[in-house]
Each structure stands twice: as structure tokens, then as C-alpha cells.
Chains A and B, each alone.
Chain A
Amino acid sequence: MVPEPFEIVVKRRDTTDTWTFELEPRSGEPLQFAAGQFTMLSAGGAGEVPISISGDPDRPERLVHTVRAVGLATRAICDADPGRVLGVRGPFGTAWPVDEVRGMDVVIGAGGIGLAPLRPALMSLLARREGYGRLVLMYGGRSPDQLLYPDELADWADRGFEVLVTVDSAGPEWLGHVGVVTRLVRRAELDWTATAAMLCGPEVMMRFMVAALVDQGAQGENIYASMERNMQCGIGHCGHCQLGPTLVCRDGPVYCWSELAPWLAIREL
């Protein structure tokens, strides 16, 4: 339960409330991880919270996290500057099925901060670009200035991702889509029965996204989602992350939708 010390070497502001950190382990031992996994991250004595790894799994020398300041623990992390040491435990949890969906078209569906946990999957897919059919990113943000990784979005588009971005609201200078991310599903003409989807965002957004995908003909067993629940330990001991018969820290956060769907139909599960 004792966290490992990792030093902040780079801190980059993404949006008004979100920062990306590159961390180096004091031990010199890189943290090997699979796309989709998370760590339990803490700054000082302000609590420990689950944060997905947002870096490239092929380059684990630096641990990358993108954190949105929403409360006590995340604000303390976002207040930390380069040179500061953060506490890290992990990596924990299940991974995006990057290898399993080889040969298929792949939709990455992200809402808000949900792009961060998907970034490692995106990078892995691009690194093995020839192994997949069409790659489509559908990304919804609140407004243009709240979009994560704007430079990378362009780079991903250059390297073979169809990048579709939509925002809830925008000024006249925004030339992209306005509206909910589910609208993008209808726009993309894919061979839906042979398409896999990986989703992360607010739970309602994922529910609507799944409904739209299934409506187009996508199969529940090809849809994966990363779930959020309260987490106190990350290692299956504290009980907080229960989602029906599963523990999100152990059996998730990445789930196959067809296994989850009956449980998510129950209110306040």
C-alpha cells in the first residue's frame, strides 16, 4: 500500500482545468503497463485517486497522466510543479483489446477527459497501423478550448486516423461539428458488423454512444468501455469500486459491453 515516488519532469497545461504530467520513477525502473490501465496517484497528503495512464505503452520510461482538477486530490496533483514527487501505485486493471481487434475497423469514442485513458490505445493502434482497417476517432468536448491534445489530433489525422471532433457549444470561429458525440456515429459510414469500439467518457455519454453503435449494427461483444467508480485501494480490497458481480479495479476498468449491459440497466447499481 506504500506508493512509489515518481518525479514530475514535464507539466503541460491542456485546458483551463486539465494538465498532462510526465513522471520519472525515482527507482529508475520504468512502469510497464498496458493501454487502459490506471494507477493510484497522490500528491502530498491530499488523498489518492485512480488516474488512467495516458502515455504510449511502447515508451514506458516516462509515466504519463492527464489529470482534470475536480476536487481535493486532483487539485493537489494539478498544483504540483516539475521537481515535485508524486506517489504512484500500480498499474492496475484491465486493458483495451488492442490485439484482439486486429483486422477490424476501430472506433475510438471519447467524451471530455475520457480521451486520456484512450490515448495509449490510439498510440498502439497507430504504431501498428497496417494491422487494422479504418481507424476513426469520435471525440466530443464541451467547447473548442476544452479539447485535449489539439496538436496531436492533427498529427493522428496525418497518420491514418479519421478524426471527428464535436463540441457542445462554440463561437463562430469554430468550423467543426457542434452537437453530441453520438451524432458522429451516424455520419461515419463503416462496416458496422466488423467494427470494434472503445469508449470512455461520462457514463451517460457511453450509454448513448452504445445505443447509437448498436443501432447502426455494431455487436455488443465488439464494444468496450472504461468505467468509473469510487476507488480507495485499486487492488480489490476496499470494496468501493463494486459494479454488480465485478470489481472495477480488478475486472475493469475496461469491460466488454455485452457483459456489462444487463448490470448497467439497473438503476443505482
Chain B
Amino acid sequence: MDGVHVIERNDFDALLDALTRRGYAIVGPTVRDQAIVYDEIASSADLPAGWTDEQEAGHYRLRRREDEALFGYAVGPHSWKQYQLPAEVKLWRARVDQDGGLSNVTEPPRESPRYAFLGARSCELHAVGILDRVLLGGSHPDPADAGRTKDLFIVAVQCGEAGGTCFCVSMKTGPVAERGFDLALTEVLEEHRHYFVVEVGSERGADVLADVPHGEAVEEDRTAAGAVHARTASQMGRELDVTEIKELLYRNYDHPRWEEVAERCLTCGNCTMVCPTCFCTTVEDVTDLAGEHVERHQRWDSCFTVDYSGIHDGAVRGSAKSRYRQWMTHKLATWHDQFGTSGCVGCGRCITWCPVGIDLTEEAAAIRESEEGPK
């Protein structure tokens, strides 16, 4: 498993072929509707070659690069969450009997493809792990959830440049993926050469690599990859001081800053939809027109809706302030107590995709500054 290898750009499709031959459905980045999203990938022609993404609070735009990098962007609005926990899942289907009772309750077949995630970033690997911990780490793991990512093959890509809203360095989730992958690629673009420095993270990874034309990495290749990693780490668009952040937020549930952010927040829930770890779902029973069958559907939900906290005599969190506070304290503080990890990996999606550019790093910093003075 040891060693560092090199795949030339011209041989890259052999990697995809090797995965396809092993029965994996490859999902990876592709350009659609002016964004880089995740979808099934047939060949490197589907990848966002030559594109990068410009990201700021409330701002995302694709821009042409000066080179033909396949992975020269940060992260888009999609995350691997959509494969671990799809936006809508059919839980079961049943017949409705004459008297209104149910019979023939059946679960849909679990026919998830074996996925290969191509282009997963370090922060995303952490997010996949966090979501697994929530869904599978408790005392009631759902086999349907487990089935979706069983035998997952991960081709990580080390970030070649940080996005404008990234803060993985603060969250200690990146930019360099150190484990949790089968293969990890660092894309290197030189004037006359385009290649990938490859680290092998598992036996399966080694097996796939053996099927792809590759060479041993020489000293210069390693140095080039190291330079990419160092450059990315120095480019973080955002920063978040996480020193005792749980305690900080626990002390400040009544901070005036929550009112201020609530005045701007539209409670649209975009931040929860794009977040790779936000896992909240709701269920709905759907009856067919004839009333003969019923299905229970589970779909993504957001703590920004009033109904989310509704009990029959009203919502627990009626105000926008309480809902933004619930979301941010969950990501950065209560998640630690609930699941033994942070709920945020510093990917910056919630900042980029917030229509009014609300930035949790800025909100946390404001609360910290009110206690400690400006940094």
C-alpha cells in the first residue's frame, strides 16, 4: 500500500475505466446550470476541465481557468450527502384495507449502486464520516442508510486552491486528506505536463491503481504536490477560532448578536440544504388517488421552518432569532455533546449559498469579540 505514484493526465480515463470494470457507479463533479455539481461520470470529458469557482458570502460564479485542470475548483452546492441520505427516500409502502388498517407493508428494494466518489475533498471526507456517525453510530442504525454507502470507493482530490469561503484549516478538516480514502490525487499542472500524484489508502485502492498506467513518484513530483498542499493551506478565505467554542456559545444564548443576525436572515434554509452534514429529515404519508395504497416518504427538512419544532400547542422556536441560533449552535456546539464531534467541517457552502451572505464565522467572531475584545 505504501509509496507515492504518478498518473499522467492522458492516462486518467484508465482510472475511471478500472472503477467501472469493478462495478462502481462513478459520481463526481460536472458543470450544470452554471455550477459544479455531483452526478454520474462516464469519462473525464464530463469533468469541469478548465473551470473554477469564485466564492464569497452570498456569491458563487464559475470562471474559466487559464489551464485545463480537472479539479481546479473548491466545492459546489452539492455534497456527497445526497448519496448517503438522499433528499427524498421512500421508507415503505402498504395497502390500505377497507377499515383503514394497513397490510402488505413492504420496504422498497435496496438496490443502491456501489458508488465511487470521485473528487471528494478533505473536508468532505470528514463530512461523510460525521454523517455516518449520526445515521449509523447510534443504537438504531437503519440498514437502508448503511446500504447506500456500503463498499464505497473514494478517490479523494487534494485541494489545489481554497475557495473564498473555506475554513477547513480552522476546523482541522483539511486541506490535505490524510485518511478515509482509497486513492488520493494531487493534481499538478506544469507548463508542459499535467499529472496526478497518487497516494494509496487501501488494498482496494492499490488493486485499482494496478490497473492504471502509472509510475513511481520521484522527488520532484512529491515536492510539486507538497507545494500545492501548502499553497492551498495558506489561502483560506475564512477563519474561525474554535478555542472552547462550545463553552463560548453555551454562555451566550442571550447575546444581542442573535437578534441582529435574525434581522437579516430570511429563514430560507439554504444553509441547511447545502451543508454536507445537516441531516434533519421529516416524514410524510402519501396516499394514492384511489386511497388504496400509502407510502411513507422521508425528506430533507430544515430547522429554519416553524413547523420543524411544532408540537400541537405551537412551535418551540417561533422567532427567526431562535431558529438561526438553533442552527449555528447545533453546528458548532451542541453537536459535540450529541455526537462527539463538530457538526461543521469548514467547507463554506452555507456562507456562499446564503442569499444575504450571512457568515457563521463572522457571527461566532462577533460573539467572541464581545467577550474578549477585537483580535
Hey, which bits of chain A sit against chain B, CB under 8 A? 1-3, 5, 42-48, 70-71, 74, 76, 79-81, 83-87, 202, 228-230, 232-233, 235-240, 242, 244-247, 250, 266-269
Chain B neighbourhood of A230, CB < 8 A: 308-311, 316
Chain B neighbourhood of A46, CB < 8 A: 285
Question: Whose C-beta in chain A lies nearest to the C-beta of B298?
Answer: A1
Binds A, one of B13-21, B61-69, B116-124, B276-284: B276-284
Chain A neighbourhood of B103, CB < 8 A: 5, 85
Query: B138 touching A229 by the CB < 8 A rule?
Result: no
21 A-B contact pairs sorted by A residue (CB < 8 Å): A1-B92, A5-B102, A44-B96, A45-B94, A45-B285, A45-B286, A47-B284, A47-B285, A87-B105, A228-B311, A230-B310, A230-B311, A235-B138, A235-B142, A237-B138, A240-B309, A242-B338, A244-B334, A245-B333, A245-B338, A250-B139
Query: A233 touching B92 by the CB < 8 A rule?
Result: no
Is the C-beta of B135 less than 8 angstroms from some C-beta in chain A?
A: yes
- Of the candidates B91, B286, B326, the one whose C-beta lies within 8 Å of that of A242 is B326
Question: Whose C-beta in chain A lies nearest to the C-beta of B337?
Answer: A245
In chain B, residues 89-111, which have Cβ atoms closer than 8 Å to a Cβ of chain A?
A: 91-92, 94, 96, 99-103, 105, 107
Q: How far, in whole Å, are A45 and B296 apart by their CA atoms in the complex?
A: 8
Query: A237 touching B294 by the CB < 8 A rule?
Result: no
Q: How far, in whole Å, are A229 and B347 apart by their CA atoms in the complex?
A: 31
A167 to chain B, nearest CB (A): 20
Is the C-beta of B254 less than 8 angstroms from some C-beta in chain A?
A: yes
Given contacts A236-B138, A239-B281, A268-B317, contact A1 B254 (CB under 8 A): no
Name 14 extra pairs, CB < 8 A, besides A238-B283, A242-B338, A250-B138: A5-B105, A44-B96, A45-B94, A45-B102, A45-B285, A79-B100, A86-B101, A232-B301, A233-B283, A237-B134, A237-B135, A239-B281, A242-B326, A268-B318
Is the C-beta of B303 less than 8 angstroms from some C-beta in chain A?
A: yes
B290 to chain A, nearest CB (A): 13
Mask for B129-167, Cβ within 8 A of A = 1, else 0?
000001100111010110000000000000000000000
Given contacts A230-B316, A240-B301, A266-B253, contact A44 B144 (CB under 8 A): no
A180 to chain B, nearest CB (A): 17
Query: B316 touching A269 by the CB < 8 A rule?
Result: yes
Hey, which bits of chain B sit against chain A, CB under 8 A? 91-92, 94, 96, 99-103, 105, 107, 134-135, 138-140, 142, 144-145, 253-254, 279-287, 294, 296, 298, 301, 303, 308-313, 316-319, 321-322, 326, 330, 333-334, 336-338
Q: How far, in whole Å, are A202 and B139 apart by their CA atoms in the complex?
A: 29
- Of the candidates B102, B144, B282, B311, the one whose C-beta lies within 8 Å of that of A232 is B282
Q: How far, in whole Å, are A121 and B102 apart by their CA atoms in the complex?
A: 32
Query: B318 touching A240 by the CB < 8 A rule?
Result: no
Q: How far, in whole Å, are A230 and B138 apart by their CA atoms in the complex?
A: 19
Q: How far, in whole Å, are A80 and B99 apart by their CA atoms in the complex?
A: 9
Q: How far, in whole Å, are A131 and B118 apart by their CA atoms in the complex?
A: 63
Query: B283 touching A232 by the CB < 8 A rule?
Result: yes
Given contacts A2-B107, A238-B301, contact A232 B309 (CB under 8 A): no
Question: Whose C-beta in chain B lies nearest to the C-beta of A74?
Answer: B312
Q: How far, in whole Å, are A173 and B301 apart by their CA atoms in the complex?
A: 50
Given contacts A45-B294, A84-B99, contact A238 B282 (CB under 8 A): yes
B262 to chain A, nearest CB (A): 11
Chain A neighbourhood of B313, CB < 8 A: 202
Q: How far, in whole Å, are A103 and B234 apart by their CA atoms in the complex?
A: 63
Given contacts A2-B105, A5-B102, contact A45 B253 (CB under 8 A): no
Chain A neighbourhood of B301, CB < 8 A: 232, 238-240
Question: Whose C-beta in chain B lies nearest to the C-beta of A243?
Answer: B316
B332 to chain A, nearest CB (A): 12
Chain B neighbourhood of A83, CB < 8 A: 99
B132 to chain A, nearest CB (A): 12
Chain A neighbourhood of B298, CB < 8 A: 1
Q: How far, in whole Å, are A30 and B294 apart by their CA atoms in the complex?
A: 27
B110 to chain A, nearest CB (A): 12
- Of the candidates B287, B316, B338, the one whose C-beta lies within 8 Å of that of A247 is B338
B136 to chain A, nearest CB (A): 10
- The 10 residue pairs across chains A and B that have the minimum distance between CB atoms: A45-B294, A245-B337, A268-B322, A239-B280, A235-B140, A45-B285, A85-B101, A70-B312, A1-B91, A245-B334
Q: How far, in whole Å, are A206 and B35 apart by their CA atoms in the complex?
A: 51
Query: A233 touching B338 by the CB < 8 A rule?
Result: no
Q: How far, in whole Å, are A245 and B326 apart by their CA atoms in the complex?
A: 11
Q: How far, in whole Å, are A42 and B275 apart by their CA atoms in the complex?
A: 31
Query: A229 touching B91 by the CB < 8 A rule?
Result: no
Q: How far, in whole Å, are A187 and B296 apart by their CA atoms in the complex?
A: 50
Chain A neighbourhood of B145, CB < 8 A: 237
Q: How far, in whole Å, are A237 and B133 apart by their CA atoms in the complex?
A: 10
Question: Whose C-beta in chain A lies nearest to the C-beta of B143?
Answer: A1
Query: B102 touching A44 by the CB < 8 A rule?
Result: yes
Q: How far, in whole Å, are A242 and B319 apart by their CA atoms in the complex?
A: 16
- Of the candidates A48, A244, A267, the one whose C-beta lies within 8 Å of that of B283 is A48
